[in-house]
Amino acid sequence: MSDTRSFQNVQRKIRTIVPAVVLCLLSSEVLAQNTGSAAKKTPGEDMVLRAGDGFPIHITYFAGNGGKESPVAVLLPSTEGPDAANARNRRAWQDTALALQKDGYAVVTVDLRKHGDSIPDVEDKSAIKLLPTDHTAMAALDLEAVKSFLMEQHQAEQLNVRKMGIVAAGSSCIVASAFAVEDWAKKPYKDAPLLAQQTPRGQDVRAIVMLSPKGNVKGLNSARAMKALGALPVAAYILASTQDKAEIRDADKLFKSLELKGEEFDEVRKITRAPIAQSAEQFIEGKEAETTIRLIKEFFKKNLKELEEPWRSRKSRLF
């Protein structure tokens, strides 16, 4: 049996293990408006999206080379705050983005609100102080803006949003997980008699890689997010440093909510405890970058790229 079919079987087993009802972590759905220009096939194109509350979200888009069957990777830097020690922006992901693009992926690197370039031009710098509500907005608004942009590219047959993966670092791991849970809570349009024929509205996030995930993120319930994510057919991979006691403690605790027993799940839910001093974005920088990028590509190949999810229009028959 091929790896692809094996993963499809794993997904079906997950669905039989978990409750049918998905926990909603966030508030009601929000609309996001894209103000960027059409993407060109260049190494990377900087664009500005608008979240549902009007907040500017800066991204760089790396178009895929596989047309409408290109899988999608969204790369998120840490969200500990713009004044946090060793704060990074989306450009930290440049090498990773180019490696994934070369491997056939359409890639988006994102500065979530109040990080990197996604900072409003105001004189009062206290206005950019990170608040607990900002992490909620990152999941409910910022990533919805990114998803809306990807949906436009999907309908333009530039990528396959049905094969969407996320790589996140630090606090953004919980942001990504909360977004994935909310995305899976979106039921298909009732525009066909059979569920398999109905047009999907969400349920597109299929794999998440977490670099040094934080166990406590203000504004989001980390334990609840992981428990809900663990109940979904979403592949998850945690990388954490054993040299940082708090980091590996958080990683092990979060993985307990994701872990599934059985050899068939070994490549679907996994954790790497790395005996190195690097953490978060440092995994994709310097001497560790080559190894980490290889691990990301291998995980995405098995759990995202090889999924049997051919492109289909996301325009509902109701409209």
Q: Give pLDDT tens digits for 84-100.
A: 777 889 999 999 999 99
The residue range of the domain holding 149 is 3-120+130-189+200-305
Q: Does a structural domain hold residue 206?
A: yes
pLDDT band at 11 (very low <50, low <70, confident <90, very high): low
From the CA atom positions of the chain, what is the Rg in Å? 18
What is the distance between the alpha carbons of residues 99 and 290, in angstroms, rounded to a whole number?
A: 10
What is the distance between the alpha carbons of residues 197 and 204, in angstroms, rounded to a whole number?
A: 16
pLDDT above 90 as % of the chain: 76
| CA-angle at 259, arms to 169 and 21, nearest 5° | 95
Whether the per-residue pLDDT at 30 is higher than 70: the answer is no
Q: What is the pLDDT of residue 86?
A: 76
Q: What is the pLDDT of residue 5?
A: 46
Q: Does a structural domain hold residue 160?
A: yes
Q: What is the pLDDT of residue 34?
A: 43
Whether the per-residue pLDDT at 129 is higher than 90: the answer is no
Q: What is the pLDDT of residue 40?
A: 43
> Taking Cα atoms as reference points, which of 280, 273, 278 lies closest to residue 255?
273
Question: CATH number of the domain that 172 lies in?
Answer: 3.40.50.1820
Q: What is the pLDDT of residue 81?
A: 80
What is the distance between the alpha carbons of residues 25 and 219, in angstroms, rounded to a whole number?
A: 11
Q: Does a structural domain hold residue 311?
A: no
pLDDT above 70 as % of the chain: 86
Q: What is the pLDDT of residue 126?
A: 67
Q: What is the pLDDT of residue 9?
A: 52
pLDDT band at 83 (very low <50, low <70, confident <90, very high): confident
A 10 A CB-CB count for 129 gives: 12
Whether the per-residue pLDDT at 302 is higher than 70: the answer is yes
For the sheet with 164-169, list strands across it.
33-34, 45-50, 56-62, 106-111, 72-76, 164-169, 205-211, 235-241, 269-274
Residue type at 87? A
Largest CA distance in the chain: 61
Q: Does a structural domain hold residue 162?
A: yes
Instruction: Taking residues 174-190, report their average pLDDT.
Output: 97
Q: What is the pLDDT of residue 122?
A: 76
Q: Does a structural domain hold residue 238?
A: yes
Instruction: Taking residues 123-137, report their average pLDDT.
Output: 85
Q: Does a structural domain hold residue 315?
A: no
Instruction: Taking residues 2-7, report their average pLDDT.
Output: 44
The rounded mean pLDDT for the chain is 88
Whether the per-residue pLDDT at 16 is higher than 50: the answer is no
What is the distance between the alpha carbons of residues 210 and 240, in angstroms, rounded to a whole number?
A: 8
Summarised one tens digit per residue, pLDDT across range 212-257 is: 999 999 999 999 999 999 999 999 999 999 999 999 999 999 999 9
Whether the per-residue pLDDT at 186 is higher than 60: the answer is yes
Q: How many domains does the chain have?
A: 1
What is the distance between the alpha carbons of residues 82 and 130, in angstroms, rounded to a whole number?
A: 8
Q: What is the pLDDT of residue 189?
A: 95
Angular region, 87: left φ>0, alpha ψ -120 to 50, beta rest = beta
Instruction: Taking residues 252-275, report their average pLDDT.
Output: 95
Please indicate whether residue 84 or residue 211 has the higher confidence score (pLDDT).
Answer: 211
Q: Does a structural domain hold residue 265?
A: yes
Per the structure block, which two tokens stand in for 218?
Answer: 């203000």
Q: Does a structural domain hold residue 314?
A: no
